[in-house]
Structure 1
Amino acid sequence: MHRLKVPALSAEMSVPPAELHHLRVLRLRPGAEVRVFDGQGAEASATLLRLDEGGALLALGERLENTRETPQPVTLAVALLKGDKLSDVVRAATELGVARVQLLQTRYADVPDIGEQKLVRLRRIAAEASKQSRRALVPEVLAPMPLARLTLEGQGFLAHPGSGLRLLDKLHWSAPVTLISGPEGGFSDAEVEALTQVGFQAITLGPRILRAETAPLALLGALAASGV
């Protein structure tokens, strides 16, 4: 069934321009059934009431249970990467269930910052990936911030070579989760020390050294393998 993102669920809903084009391509007729979601976790069935040159109108149907989110929200805090690597990470992280992506400025990051245009593109990629993976939640993609300003709510884990701890041995679902992945050059000793002092636990991703764009997906893949 076709899925459309709308600003909010209400008794009658106008279709946003981006989704309107999609509806016209599909050539749906009044009476067609679709699904709508608001990007905040709510999803429902809907009926197409009208589709013409002036736009489209939907009637809200039965609300649907959301079974595709993790028991607690997961934040992926990832160092800035060059090229399209961040795009690939955001897309895959959305498919793997994160609720938020926090971009990080670190000592050895490949790039010091990104512009507003790239941030908008990353948010669009998250929205598209959420729709493709049939999630009702579109993850936030937050502007870069210095690593030193990152705070911990709930439980936090830092991917760091040399640690003997494994993620699934320490993870529990009674509190939100933050996962941190570094740049190609890794974290400095001072950065690791600062993170552990505020409560992040260093964990291993196995005996091999992973690329900066692979490490965050390995972290999230461990969660996916646990069945959540």
Structure 2
Amino acid sequence: MHRVKVGALSRIMPLSPGESQHLRVLRLRPGATLRVFDGQGAEADATLIRLDELGAMLELGQAVQNNRETPQPVTLAIALLKGDKLSDVVRAGTELGVTTFQLLQTRHADVPEIGEQKLVRLRRIAAEASKQSRRAVTPEVLAPVPLARLTLDGQGFLAHPGSSARLTETLDWQTPVTLVSGPEGGFSEAEVAALTASGFTAITLGPRILRAETAPLALLGAVAASGV
């Protein structure tokens, strides 16, 4: 069943120009059944009632329960990376259940800042990946903030070489989860100290040194290994 994202679920729902064009490419006809989601967790069946050059219109059907989300929201706080590395992390992270991506400015970050156009592209990638992976939630991609402004709501874990604690031994799905992953050069000692002082637990990702774009996916893989 084809899935489309809508602004909000309502009895009659217009589609965006992009989604309407996609349905025209698929050569769908009025009466076709689709699956709609709002990116906030709501999902339902819908019937196509109009499709022409002016756009598309859907009629809301029965609600559908989507059980593809983690028991608690997962935030991935990741240092700015150069090139397409951030795009790769956002795409795979969305597939692995991230609810929010918080970009971080850190001492050893590959780049000091990203432009609005790159931020828009990352958000589009998250939307496409949530659609492809059949999630009902489209993750937020938040503009970069200094590491010192990162706040902890629930439990937090910091990937740091040399640590002995393992994520699967301490993860508790009673509260939201924040995972922190650093740049290619790693976090400075002062940054690690500040994070642990604010409640983050430093954990190991194994004996090998991972690249900056691999570490966050290893973190999320450990979350997936918890069975959610």
TM-score, structure 1 normalization: 0.99
The residue aligned with 2:4 is 4
Any idea what SS the aligned residue of 2:34 has? strand
Q: Which residue of 1 aligns with 2:196?
A: 196
Q: Which amino acid in structure 2 is aligned with residue 110 of structure 1?
A: D
What's the RMSD between the two structures over aligned residues?
A: 0.5
Q: What is the CA–CA distance in structure 2 between the aligned matches of 1:56 and 1:171, rounded to whole Å? A: 44
- Whether 2:172 is the aligned partner of 1:177: answer no
In structure 1, C-alpha distance between the alignment counterparts of 2:215 and 2:45, rounded to whole Å: 37
Specify the code of the residue in structure 1 equivalent to 2:139. Answer: P
Per-residue Cα deviation, 1:15-68 (whole angstroms, up to 9, x for no partner): 111100100001111110000000111000000111112221110000000200
Alignment of 1:56-205 (within 5 A): 56-205=56-205
Structure 2 unaligned spans of 5+ = none
- Please report how far the alpha carbon of residue 225 of structure 1 lies from its aligned counterpart in structure 2 after TM superposition: 2.0
**Matching residue of 1:48:** 48
**In structure 2, C-alpha distance between the alignment counterparts of 1:123 and 1:83, rounded to whole Å:** 16
CA distance in 2, matches of 1:54, 1:194: 54
Deviation of residue 139 (structure 1)?
A: 0.2
| Partner-residue secondary structure (3-state), 1:175 | coil
The Cα shift of 1:226 comes to 2.1
Q: Distance in 2 between matches of 1:203 and 1:78?
A: 15
SS in structure 2 at match of 1:90: helix
Deviation at 1:94? 0.2
TM-score normalised by structure 2 residue count: 0.99
Q: In structure 1, how many angstroms separate the alpha carbons of the residues matched to 2:164 and 2:31?
A: 58
**Deviations 1:81-113, CA, capped at 9 Å, x for gaps:** 000000000000000000000000000000000
- What is the one-letter code of the residue matched to 1:209? I
Q: Which amino acid in the other structure matches residue 97 of structure 2?
A: G
**1:10-49 correspondence to structure 2 within 5 Å:** 10-49=10-49
Alpha-carbon distance in 2 for matches of 1:179, 1:130: 19
The alignment-based identity, stated in percent, is 79
**Counterpart secondary structure, 2:148:** helix
> Counterparts of 1:54 and 1:114 in 2: how far apart (Å)?
36
What corresponds to 1:211 in structure 2?
A: 211
